């Protein structure tokens, strides 16, 4: 009997479970994560409008694990001994493995001075709800929205959701007939924010900001924050409520993994999702750094594609075959504005932008329902 262990119950970890089963793998699978829950980040953007609650976004996985014969260990991984094939956790339990898929996600770099004054809603429900409650209580003022990347690994950023919060809150304030009481400003150290989506998308996003009277402050290095301001080398932005998404890095335990890390602090993976010089160890999703174009996104969709690849390669190795599956690089993103959406598609061959339409808002809602059906 082989012993496959997965770290993480997010998009990558759970897609790995489904793929192993689809490919006919019959033995029990062990999955380690703090809780038997999937948190569906993409719909956090609808929390300020009251369209999603914590319960809507947190999916209990007990039934899914039962159906797929997954033994769940409720723990946080703290380290790894790849020679001894052992995983250390924050409980007394040490977990041994023959094959391992690491899908433990990323975290945001919180080094800028005054970062405690900003809301980083992409860290989960609590900061998003706290931001939404503050906004609901305000009579007016300046709202600043921005994101930055990891200077050592520029692709490690989460910009898309900030555009969605920005446009969604603009729509929400208009619906509430109080947009005229607020000044909205978007800031980014990048002169062309959203460049990974493609040149047309940058133009379209900045065009939307102009159309909806959203000010921009672009191309200035960040210096920090204070209670009522964003400080940059190009001047300060007065702000009563700031939403900011810092650049990303790997989560803390990877520093104790002994595995090869990228400059930006992620576990290195190759085109087959293997961790170099670490037999039987695979990495997928936000925690990994992979070869590919500089626009390769840190997205749930990429985590899914990589998880399918890793699962298939593990099964090939167990059969004594070569791990020859390579993941496809693809960016699919609906930039939602609460009542409409703009679709961006990018692959090495194509880069398409579909204009803002109501149907893409419906498509995003349908996708959420359909995606989560498997886990309910």
Ligand X SMILES: Cc1cc2nc3c(=O)[nH]c(=O)nc-3n(C[C@H](O)[C@H](O)[C@H](O)COP(=O)(O)OP(=O)(O)OC[C@H]3O[C@@H](n4cnc5c(N)ncnc54)[C@H](O)[C@@H]3O)c2cc1C
301 belongs to the binding site for ligand X (CB under 6 A): yes
Per DSSP, the three-state class of 141 is strand
> Using CB under 6 A, which of 6, 17, 41, 194 touches ligand X?
41
173 belongs to the binding site for ligand X (CB under 6 A): no
Rg (CA), the chain: 21
249 belongs to the binding site for ligand X (CB under 6 A): no
Binders in 184-243 for ligand X, by CB under 6 A: none
The C-alpha atoms of residue 163 and residue 134 are separated, in whole angstroms, by: 19
80 belongs to the binding site for ligand X (CB under 6 A): no
The C-alpha atoms of residue 291 and residue 35 are separated, in whole angstroms, by: 31
Closest CB to ligand X among residues 6, 323: 6
5 belongs to the binding site for ligand X (CB under 6 A): no
152 belongs to the binding site for ligand X (CB under 6 A): no
Q: What is the pattern of x (binds ligand X, CB under 6 A) and - over residues 82-121?
A: ---------------------xxx----------------
42 belongs to the binding site for ligand X (CB under 6 A): yes
Stretch touching ligand X by CB under 6 A, among 18-26, 136-144, 265-273, 295-303: 295-303
168 belongs to the binding site for ligand X (CB under 6 A): no
264 belongs to the binding site for ligand X (CB under 6 A): no
Cβ contacts of 283 within 8 Å, gap of 6 or more: 101, 102, 103, 259, 267, 268, 269, 273, 275, 310
Closest CB to ligand X among residues 208, 286: 286
State both tokens at 268. 């290195």
18 belongs to the binding site for ligand X (CB under 6 A): no
CA 20 from centroid of its chain's CA atoms = 23
257 belongs to the binding site for ligand X (CB under 6 A): no
Closest to 1 measured CA to CA, from 28, 24, 37: 28
Return the number of other C-beta atoms located less than 10 Å from residue 227's C-beta: 10
The C-alpha atoms of residue 7 and residue 102 are separated, in whole angstroms, by: 5
> Using CB under 6 A, which of 135, 197, 201, 300 touches ligand X?
300
Closest CB to ligand X among residues 105, 194: 105
Q: Is 101 exposed, middle or buried (0-12, 13-18, 19+ CB in 10 A)?
A: buried
CB of 250 to ligand X, least distance (A): 10
6 belongs to the binding site for ligand X (CB under 6 A): no
Phi, psi of 330 (to 5 degrees): -150, 135
253 belongs to the binding site for ligand X (CB under 6 A): yes
9 belongs to the binding site for ligand X (CB under 6 A): yes
| DSSP state for residue 16 in the 8-state scheme | H
Residues 238, 94: contact at Cβ < 8 Å?
no
Closest to 168 measured CA to CA, from 202, 195, 132, 203: 132
> Using CB under 6 A, which of 18, 34, 88, 354 touches ligand X?
34
The C-alpha atoms of residue 156 and residue 248 are separated, in whole angstroms, by: 5
Q: Given the rule CB under 6 A, which residues bind ligand X? A: 7-13, 32-34, 41-42, 44-45, 76-77, 103-105, 122, 158, 161, 251, 253, 285-287, 298-301, 303
């Amino acid at each position: 009997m082989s012993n496959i262990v997965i770290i993480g119950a997010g998009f990558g970890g759970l897609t790995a479970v489904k793929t192993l089963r689809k490919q006919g793998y019959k033995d029990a699978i062990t999955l380690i994560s703090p809780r038997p829950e999937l948190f569906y980040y993409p719909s956090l953007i609808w929390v300020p409008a009251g369209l999603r609650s914590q319960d809507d976004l947190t999916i209990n996985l007990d039934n899914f694990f039962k159906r797929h014969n997954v033994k769940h260990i409720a723990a946080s991984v703290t380290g790894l001994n790849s020679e001894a094939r052992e995983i250390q956790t924050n409980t007394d339990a040490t977990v041994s493995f023959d094959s391992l898929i690491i899908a433990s996600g990323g975290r945001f770099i919180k080094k800028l001075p005054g970062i405690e004054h900003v809301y980083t809603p992409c860290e989960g429900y609590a900061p998003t709800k706290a931001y939404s409650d503050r906004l609901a209580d305000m009579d007016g003022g300046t709202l600043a929205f921005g994101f930055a990347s990891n200077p050592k690994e520029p692709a490690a950023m989460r910009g898309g959701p900030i555009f969605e919060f920005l446009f969604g809150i603009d729509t929400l304030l208009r619906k509430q007939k109080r947009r005229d009481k607020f000044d909205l400003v978007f800031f980014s150290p990048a002169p062309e924010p959203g460049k990974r989506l493609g040149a047309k998308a940058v133009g379209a996003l900045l065009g939307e900001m102009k159309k909806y009277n959203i000010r921009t402050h672009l191309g200035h290095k960040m210096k920090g924050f204070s209670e009522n301001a964003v400080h940059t080398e190009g001047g300060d932005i007065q702000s009563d409520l700031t939403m900011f998404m810092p650049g990303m890095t790997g989560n803390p335990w990877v520093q104790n993994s002994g595995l090869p890390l990228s400059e930006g602090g992620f576990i290195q993976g190759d085109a087959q999702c293997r961790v170099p010089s670490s037999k039987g160890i695979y990495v997928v999703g936000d925690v990994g750094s992979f070869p590919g174009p500089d626009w390769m996104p840190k997205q749930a969709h990429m985590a899914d594609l990589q998880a399918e690849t890793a699962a298939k390669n593990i099964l090939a190795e167990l059969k004594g075959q070569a791990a020859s599956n390579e993941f496809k690089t693809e960016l699919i993103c609906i930039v939602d504005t609460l009542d409409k959406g703009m679709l961006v598609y990018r692959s090495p061959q194509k880069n398409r932008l579909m204009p803002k339409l109501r149907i893409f808002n419906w498509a995003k809602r349908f996708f959420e329902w359909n995606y989560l059906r498997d886990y309910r």
